[in-house]
């Protein structure tokens, strides 16, 4: 059974750096073809893709946020970490981590999401 | 402004058929990249509904179907049920942006 769970601060101040961790089970991110990603959703708004990381450590970022994002993996801990610098109130959103299938670029398993509020 | 365009809302009575469109461009759907659909019930995470244009994951009822043509795609829901009331999102890959793109989402109301 595949499970994913996001964790991190629920409140961050403007200009701070956000660090979110996705802890997963039921698969290994060191297996060829496996990839994971982050997607966010501001309250009442649409989904927005942020980043992907592949089993071979290849990384992809949203071109709109690339300068602020970093995604890393720790296969020994079954974790993926997303950092986002210079947080702003418009970054207030629910952040989801998700698993991609071995073939195709879509998300077939999702975490429950974690709401991050940016406010002073 | 989303790269993929969806109608903000659609509605239908129980038992009816509704369709949700997703319009892209020559750098995503028109370039041959697959379309995928998600269902999001309020307060919950998105759930994969259709992948690779027309395939249903295990457990998704065959009332849900997807199609793609040219630079557009559609999600059809037949035999509408109250439990189908949710937001629906299309998603693809865009070669100009070199990344994943989502539609703006469509809220389905079951009357």
Give pLDDT tens digits for B41-87. Answer: 999 999 999 999 999 999 999 999 999 999 999 999 999 999 999 99
| Share of residues in chain B with pLDDT > 90 (%) | 98
Contact A47 B102 (CB under 8 A): yes
A108 touches chain B (CB under 8 A): yes
Q: What is the mean pLDDT of chain A?
A: 97
pLDDT range class, residue B90, cuts 50, 70, 90: very high
| Share of residues in chain A with pLDDT > 70 (%) | 100
Contact A104 B51 (CB under 8 A): yes
- CB contacts of B103 in chain A (<8 Å) are 46
Q: Which of B21, B36, B32, B40 is nearest to B101 (CA)?
A: B36
Distances (CA, A) of A99 to A60, A103, B80: 14, 12, 29
The DSSP bridge partners found for residue B17 are none
pLDDT range class, residue B27, cuts 50, 70, 90: very high
Contact B36 A101 (CB under 8 A): no
Q: Looking at residues B78-99, what average pLDDT do you find? A: 97
Q: Of all helices (H) and strands (E), which one includes residue B57?
A: none
Q: Which of B29, B31, B39, B45 would best serve as a mutation to test chain A binding (most A beta carbons within 10 A)?
A: B45
pLDDT range class, residue A82, cuts 50, 70, 90: very high
Residue A102 has pLDDT above 90, yes or no: no
Residue-level pLDDT at B1: 81
Q: B52-82 burial, b for 16+ CB within 10 Å, e for fewer?
A: ebeebeeebeeebbbebeebbbbbebeebee
Distances (CA, A) of B55 to A119, B21, B66: 42, 17, 7
């Amino acid at each position: 059974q595949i499970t994913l769970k996001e964790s991190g601060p629920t409140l961050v101040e403007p200009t701070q750096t956000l660090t979110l961790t996705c802890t997963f089970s039921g698969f290994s991110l060191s297996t060829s073809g496996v990839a994971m990603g982050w997607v966010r959703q501001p309250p009442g708004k649409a989904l927005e893709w942020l980043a992907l990381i592949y089993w071979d450590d290849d990384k992809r970022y949203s071109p709109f946020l690339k300068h602020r994002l970093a995604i890393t993996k720790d296969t020994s801990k079954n974790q993926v970490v997303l950092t986002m610098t210079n947080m702003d109130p418009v970054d207030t959103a629910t952040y989801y981590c998700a698993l991609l299938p071995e073939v195709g670029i879509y998300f077939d398993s999702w975490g429950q999401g974690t709401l991050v509020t940016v406010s002073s | 402004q989303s790269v993929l365009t969806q109608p903000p809302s659609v509605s239908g009575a129980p038992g009816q058929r509704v369709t949700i469109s997703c319009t892209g461009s020559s750098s995503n759907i028109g370039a041959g990249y697959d379309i995928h659909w998600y269902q999001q019930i309020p307060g919950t995470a998105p759930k994969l509904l259709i992948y690779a244009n027309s395939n249903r994951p295990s457990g998704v009822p065959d009332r849900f179907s997807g199609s793609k043509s040219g630079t557009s795609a559609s999600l059809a829901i037949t035999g509408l049920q109250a439990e189908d009331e949710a937001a629906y999102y299309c998603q693809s890959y865009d070669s100009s942006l070199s990344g994943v793109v989502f539609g703006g989402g469509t809220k389905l109301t079951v009357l």
